[in-house]
Amino acid sequence: METEMDTAELGEKIVKVLKGIYDPEIPVDIYELGLIYDVMVNTDNEVKILMTLTSPNCPVAESLPKEVEEKITNIDGVRSAEVEITFDPPWSKDLMSEEAKLELGML
C-alpha cells in the first residue's frame, strides 16, 4: 500500500512539473494544452510520458520532449524518465482544458 502512495505522490509531482513547461508559441502549459496523453510511474519509480505536439511540423519537436524528459528526470525520487511522442490521436483544441481555453479567449 505504501508503494502505491509513493507512485501516486510522485505522479502528482510530475504533473506539477509538467504544468511549469510551456509551449513557446502558445502561452499555456503543455499539460493544460492537452499535449500530455499519459503519465505512467511504475513501482521502481521509472516514468514514461506519452505526449503529442500541436503538429508533426512543430518547431519544438526536437527540444520540447527533451525538456520534458530532463525536468522529469530531475524530480527527487524519479529513477528514469522516457518521453514517447505519438500523433494518435492527433492533437486538437478539444484536448485543451477549460482553463487553457479560457486563457486563450476561446470560451
Distance CA 89, CA 87 (A): 5
Distance CA 81, CA 22 (A): 19
Q: How many CB atoms lie within 10 A of CB 52?
A: 23
With cell 494544452, the residue in question is: 33
pLDDT the model gives residue 27: 87
Distance CA 104, CA 88 (A): 24
Cα 100 off chain centre by: 14
pLDDT by residue (tens digit) across 47-106? 999 999 998 888 888 999 999 999 999 999 999 999 999 999 999 999 999 999 998 999
- pLDDT tier for residue 2 given thresholds of 50, 70 and 90: low
pLDDT the model gives residue 56: 86
**4 pLDDT more than 60:** no
pLDDT the model gives residue 107: 81
Distance CA 5, CA 103 (A): 33
**7 pLDDT more than 70:** yes
**107, three cell numbers:** 470560451
Give the closest residue to 18 by CA, choosing from 78, 101, 58.
78
Q: How many CB atoms lie within 10 A of CB 100?
A: 21
Distance CA 64, CA 67 (A): 5
